[in-house]
A and B are shown apart, each in its own frame.
Chain A
Amino acid sequence: MLNLENVQAGYGNILALKNVSLNIQEGEIITLIGANGAGKSTTLMTISGVVTCRSGKILFQDKEIQKKSSDDIVKMGICQVPEGRHIFPQLTVKENLDMGAFLRNDKAEIKKDMDYVFSLFPILAERRNQDGGTLSGGEQQMLAMSRALMARPQLLLLDEPSMGLAPLVIKQIFEIIKQINKENNTTIFLVEQNANQALHIADRGYVIENGEITLTGPAKDLLSNQEVQKAYLGI
């Protein structure tokens, strides 16, 4: 469904992605793990068209998208929950969700999806008229994921959804990621520091170091890989 072939990208004269190739099949949960500054967020931003792809190819459903604008990429069905959540602080919870459905006009279906995300996260229904900026960190993460779901993505990019959350909330967020993947057959590309949890729900994983993919394989194999254990699992 998504293929990155020798992708290079960066900021100014910093080359953050030196050579990234990976592929994701429909219906999979794929995780990308790596240390701080390895290039995980840059990978997602390049897929989303926010950071320019300098060379290489990005194929989504066999179409090249590396030159497309970010709004066209959303139109094709790729949505991202960025690192740090990026809730619109002065829009209400309801308005934040409306923004998620910005490119849709099927009112009735949008309403249905809003009910669906409210059923996933009942707290958001309670807070629907509150400004997004006043929510707690966990609530903001729930809102950020819900906002992405409002676009009915085929591929959902998640950047460190567990960052800064209490263990119980992390567990809940991971449960919901699995649920979204099963119920809607949404393909998930999950970036995580929390390698242990991520590898437990993923089908396959990639390891990125200094802008290059250094290791890949089924999640089970990565969990038992000695280098991964030492570097990312703290074993």
Chain B
Amino acid sequence: MDYFIELFCSGLSRGAIYALIALGYTMVYGIIGLINFAHGEIYMIGAFTSFIVATVLSILGFPLLAIVALSGVAAAVWASAYGYTIEKIAYKPLRHAPRLSPLISAIGMSIFLQNYVLLAQTSDFLPFPELIPDFEFMEPIAHIVGSSDIVIFITTAVVMAVLTYVIKFTRIGKAMRATAQDRTMAMLVGINVNNIISATFIIGSALAAIGGLLIASHIGQINFYIGFLAGIKAFTAAVLGGIGSIPGAVLGSFILGLTESFATGYVSSDYEDVFAFSLLVLILLFKPSGLLGKAETQKV
């Protein structure tokens, strides 16, 4: 039973990380109907930024809490700057082009960013400082659930709550929903659609960067390629839940995280991806629009 709970907890924290990344995919898709394939790289850049800031601060002897907070903020800000710029350079000029063009541009951006980090940093794995210590009060259950799993889960829950509030109740949140539902009409009521699209990229990038910090500190190492698989997995989760749907992305992420965790624990880690993608195929067979996705309706 302990083993089951252990797998369950690690599945939840895995799902939480996927959710932080998947939200960016689903929000961008909801607003401009584009799969932003460079989103995994944003997460990777978030991890590198927090790595650099955390390393510098720990050399300077900052307390751990300050290191976590400052590197988190730095990662979110820096990654947002990348997300914002990517949209302006690679997608905005193609907004009226055929659908395939921005998709190809996104793949190009992804490859470019990987190679850029490879050249600017290194191809080796870098040891990531342990930002989340083992809490003393966790001692009795430490063999079942690790401190970092708890931190990841709680951080994600807080971030989700804030995001839900922003989207439901704030002016910018309402404008985002309106733009996602009907862009022409959003323009006609006076919403600056370009700003809303930028805001979406910024928010999605900040979330992915926080995910990057959490996972890097959990696993303990990073390199330029970590964004690729994490991006594919989070994208899978978003599609599983119904691309464009925010609750769908969260649900899909947890289902995927748990599936992988149990597959690894009870079968073999060699098969975790097989299970993950079989699940995707299975769900899409029965519900092509994803669990909470809406079937594409023709707009008049």
Residues of chain A touching chain B, judged by Cβ–Cβ distance below 8 Å, are 48-50, 69-71, 74-75, 79-80, 82, 84, 86-91, 95, 98-100, 102-103, 147, 151
Contacts and interface: CB of A to CB of B under 8 A. Distances in A.
A91 B188 contact: no
The winner among A49, A100, A102 for most chain B CB atoms within 10 A is A102
B188 A84 contact: no
A75 B188 CA distance: 10
B181 A102 contact: no
A74 B178 contact: no
* A-B pairs with lowest CB-CB distance, top 7: A74-B190, A86-B185, A70-B187, A103-B190, A84-B300, A71-B190, A71-B192
Contacts of B300: 84
B178 A99 contact: yes
Contacts of A90: 177, 181
Nearest to A84: B300
A82 B185 contact: yes
A118 B189 CA distance: 19
B245 to A, nearest CB: 11
Nearest to B192: A71
A88 B178 contact: yes
A70 B178 contact: no
A49 B191 CA distance: 12
**Secondary structure dominating the interface of B:** helix
**Secondary structure dominating the interface of A:** loop
Contacts of B185: 82, 86-88
A74 B188 contact: yes
A86 B174 contact: no
Contact of B175 (A69, A75, A102): A102
Nearest to A73: B190
B190 A102 contact: yes
Interface residues of B, number: 18
Interface string B182-212: 1011111111110000000000000000000
Contacts of A84: 300
A70 to B, nearest CB: 4
Nearest to A74: B190
Given A91-B177, A99-B174, A102-B175, A86 B182 contact: yes
A86 B181 CA distance: 9
Contacts of A48: 187-188
Contacts of B181: 88-91
Contacts of A69: 192
B174 A50 contact: no
A98 B169 CA distance: 12
Contacts of B184: 50, 82, 86
A95 B188 CA distance: 15
Contacts of B191: 71, 99, 102
Contacts of A74: 188-190
A147 B189 CA distance: 8
